[in-house]
Amino acid sequence: MNTSPIESWDAAGAIFSFAGGGGATLFCVLTVVFCIVPLFFTLKTENHHENMTK
Amino acid sequence: MTPAELEAALIWANKINMEVYYYWCTAIMVLIHAGFMMYEMGASRVKHTLAAGTKNVLAFAYMIPTFWLFGWWIYLAMTNGFVPDFEAGASALPWSDSMGPNLEDNATGVFWGAFTLFACTTASIMSGAVIERIRMTAFIILAVVLGSVVWILAASWGWHYAGWMVTEWGYHDFGASGVVHIISGFFALGVLIHLGPRIGKFNADGTANVIRGHSLPMTMVGLMLIVTGFFGFLGGCLFYGGGGPAGIGQWTNIYGMPTTLSAICFNTLMGIAGGMIGAYTKTRDPFWMMSGALCGVISVAAGMDLYYPGLAFILAFAGGVIGPVAAGFVEKMGIDDAVGAVAVHGVCGILGLLFAGLFLGGYPTFSEDIPAVTFFGQFKGMIVMVLLGFIPGYVLAFAFKKIGILRAGDNVQEVGMDVEIAALAYPEEIISDAAK
């Protein structure tokens, strides 16, 4: 996969993968998802232990 | 080398030095988080130890992506109040060219990193107060709101040269007594009101019992790590080399007023010492002696770029005495703050702002258009910080309580919060019955 935003180091600015393209936005969205989804698993674990210790 | 080449070389050297400086400030600030983790684990009973540590580490982990996603944007865009300046915030959007590796931008990454660690500190401050009964999910969400929204909104208003509290009132808060410590302490108070006390903390007649943590030595070492980390924290409150000839060489505070790293060294050390001695004199308690270091440095943080060191020592001593007294008052109000965070950070943060108002009159600000520091300006700033910290914590904790995800059930607390952690803190045979 070619993710490079540059073809030469001369006068290069943003050099991160997907810079200036849609890929960056996609990984922003995925970052949000991968922050939120683990919270649901954590909540599930908590509820499980709440019920188990009753 | 021509004069133009020499100037270009100096500018490059300054840029790289700036990058190096904030990079290592950020690394040193991680010690604050390590310290808070040890502090909280030591202050917990054995059956809650790993839950306390895990909670603290997860706050750190969640703060980093959320501060990248929206925290830094809030800082740059919200200087006017609640109405965002989209143009000012554009470079902080997570998909902008500045928010990743960029050969033309040596500054954004290291500034974002330092501010992210300030955010982690705010979450750690709340984290200690709520040990042994808060549920993990609720805590993480509260930590993200505190660290990636509330504190950085306060910083945008009062810790940014264009923030409205600075331009309207001459608000002066060099070392974040208000924007970090009052905000976190009062956010924690709002949460504690709804969270309720640990089981067994209060008797039926309202008197309080002492619940001892399982390792005071671990707590003391943790506090010493926090003290060490404060050198990164307070060093990171300086602006590197933008105020001298050709924009090179002179340190300034975050408001653009000239200062030196030496000034901060004098008063960080005098603040730590004054607070320790004050708290020890008041309590003879090693826990409070170490917490007194925090009380002291927080009490002088707002004005430490300008105080005479002898004055800083006396103010810090007062903070070290007042901190434990305030913690006793909070307990008398029926609030179970397990580590005294409301007193150490909230109350001493108030002292920090008011002391600056009392003792820093007459200093010119960086622009003739900005009012000078006044007691009334600091007082108004203090009120804003108290409300901005308290209200979100109170409201959010109330909502979580209503939907039943704020507090662990009594049975989980009795068994120990570590029941949710897939590991044991210690092999059972080395733990005495008394420590259990």
B257-316, pLDDT tens digit by residue? 999 999 999 999 999 999 999 999 999 999 999 999 999 999 999 999 999 999 999 999
Whole-angstrom CA distances from B211 to B202, B264, B336, B406, B412 are 10, 37, 10, 21, 17
Residues of B in contact with A49 (CB under 8 A): 412, 419-420
Interchain pair B409, A54: CB under 8 A: yes
Q: Which residue of A has its CA nearest to B421?
A: A45
**Residue of B58, B97, B139, B199 best to disrupt the A interface, most CBs of A under 10 A:** B97
Burial of B280 (0-12, 13-18, 19+ CB in 10 A): middle
Helix/strand/coil (H/E/C) assignment for every residue in chain B:
CCHHHHHHHHHHHHHHHHHHHHHHHHHHHHHHHHHHHHHHHHHCCHHHHHHHHHHHHHHHHHHHHHHHHHHHHHHHHCCCCCCCCHHHHHHHCCCCCCCCCECCCCCHHHHHHHHHHHHHHHHHHHHHHCCCCECHHHHHHHHHHHHHHHHHHHHHHHCCCCCHHHHHHCCCCCCCHHHHHHHHHHHHHHHHHHHCCCCCCECCCCCECCCCCCCHHHHHHHHHHHHHHHHHHHHCCEECCCCCHHHCCCCEECCCCECCHHHHHHHHHHHHHHHHHHHHHHHCCHHHHHHHHHHHHHHHHCCCCCCCHHHHHHHHHHHHHHHHHHHHHHHHCCCCCCCCHHHHHHHHHHHHHHHHHHHCCCCCCCCCCCCCCCHHHHHHHHHHHHHHHHHHHHHHHHHHHHCCCCECCHHHHHHCHHHHCCCCCCCHHHCCCCCC
Residues of B in contact with A19 (CB under 8 A): 97, 100
B123-135, pLDDT tens digit by residue? 999 999 999 999 9
Interchain pair B420, A12: CB under 8 A: no
Nearest by CB to residue A32, choosing from B69, B141, B405, is B69
Token pair in block for residue B133? 């009964």
Nearest by CB to residue A13, choosing from B68, B95, B97, is B97
Of B250, B52, B22, B255, the C-alpha closest to B116 is: B22
**B57 close contact with A: CB closer than 8 A:** no
Instruction: Please check whether residue A17 lies inside any domain of the structure.
Output: no
Interchain pair B137, A15: CB under 8 A: no
The answer to whether B354 touches B379, Cβ cutoff 8 Å, is: yes
The answer to whether B213 touches B435, Cβ cutoff 8 Å, is: no
Read off φ and ψ for residue B253, nearest 5 degrees. Answer: -80, 180
Read off φ and ψ for residue B202, nearest 5 degrees. Answer: -115, 145
**B419 close contact with A: CB closer than 8 A:** yes
Interchain pair A54, B411: CB under 8 A: yes
Interchain pair B69, A19: CB under 8 A: no
**B209 close contact with A: CB closer than 8 A:** no
- Give the closest-approach CA distance of A45 to chain B in angstroms: 7
CA separation for the pair B23, A30 (Å, rounded): 27
Residues of B in contact with A6 (CB under 8 A): none
Instruction: Please check whether residue A40 lies inside any domain of the structure.
Output: yes
Token pair in block for residue B271? 């603040």
CA separation for the pair B66, B68 (Å, rounded): 5
Interchain pair B94, A28: CB under 8 A: yes
Instruction: Please check whether residue A43 lies inside any domain of the structure.
Output: yes
Q: What confidence score (pLDDT) does residue B318 get?
A: 98
A13-32, pLDDT tens digit by residue? 999 999 988 899 999 999 99
Token pair in block for residue B339? 């580590």
- Cβ atoms within 10 A of the Cβ of B329, count? 13
The answer to whether B298 touches B348, Cβ cutoff 8 Å, is: yes
Residue B407 bridge partners (DSSP): B134
- Give the closest-approach CA distance of B136 to chain A in angstroms: 7
Whole-angstrom CA distances from B410 to B61, B75, B436 are 28, 40, 17
Instruction: Please check whether residue A36 lies inside any domain of the structure.
Output: yes
Q: What confidence score (pLDDT) does residue B12 get?
A: 87
Whole-angstrom CA distances from B373 to B43, B93, B259, B363, B366 are 39, 33, 16, 7, 11
Read off φ and ψ for residue B382, nearest 5 degrees. Answer: -60, -45
- Structural domain boundaries, residue A28: 23-48
Could you give the angle at the alpha carbon of A34 between the alpha carbons of A29 and A35, nearest 5°? 100
Q: Could you report the average pLDDT of every consecutive run of 10 residues in chain B (436 residues)?
A: 89 89 96 96 95 95 97 98 96 95 95 96 96 96 98 97 95 97 98 97 94 95 95 92 67 91 96 98 96 97 97 98 98 96 98 97 85 95 98 98 96 92 76 53
Rg for chain B, CA atoms, rounded: 22
Residues in A whose CB is inside 8 Å of some CB of B read 9, 12-16, 19-20, 24-25, 28, 31-32, 35, 39, 42-43, 45-46, 49-50, 53-54
Interchain pair B95, A25: CB under 8 A: yes
Instruction: Please check whether residue A5 lies inside any domain of the structure.
Output: no
- Give the closest-approach CA distance of B94 to chain A in angstroms: 7
CA separation for the pair B87, B83 (Å, rounded): 12
**B432 close contact with A: CB closer than 8 A:** no
Run of H or E residues at A38? helix A22-52
Q: What confidence score (pLDDT) does residue B14 get?
A: 87
Of B165, B129, B133, the C-alpha closest to B146 is: B129
CA separation for the pair B98, B90 (Å, rounded): 10
Residues of B in contact with A42 (CB under 8 A): 136-137, 140
Instruction: Please check whether residue A42 lies inside any domain of the structure.
Output: yes
Domain count within chain A: 1
Instruction: Please check whether residue A8 lies inside any domain of the structure.
Output: no
Interchain pair B408, A16: CB under 8 A: no
- Give the closest-approach CA distance of A28 to chain B in angstroms: 7
Q: What confidence score (pLDDT) does residue B246 get?
A: 60
- Give the closest-approach CA distance of A37 to chain B in angstroms: 11
Interchain pair A19, B97: CB under 8 A: yes
- Report the phi/psi class of residue B310: left, alpha or beta, with left for phi > 0 and alpha for psi in -120 to 50: alpha
Instruction: Please check whether residue A28 lies inside any domain of the structure.
Output: yes
Amino acid in the structure at residue A46? E
Q: What confidence score (pLDDT) does residue B412 get?
A: 93
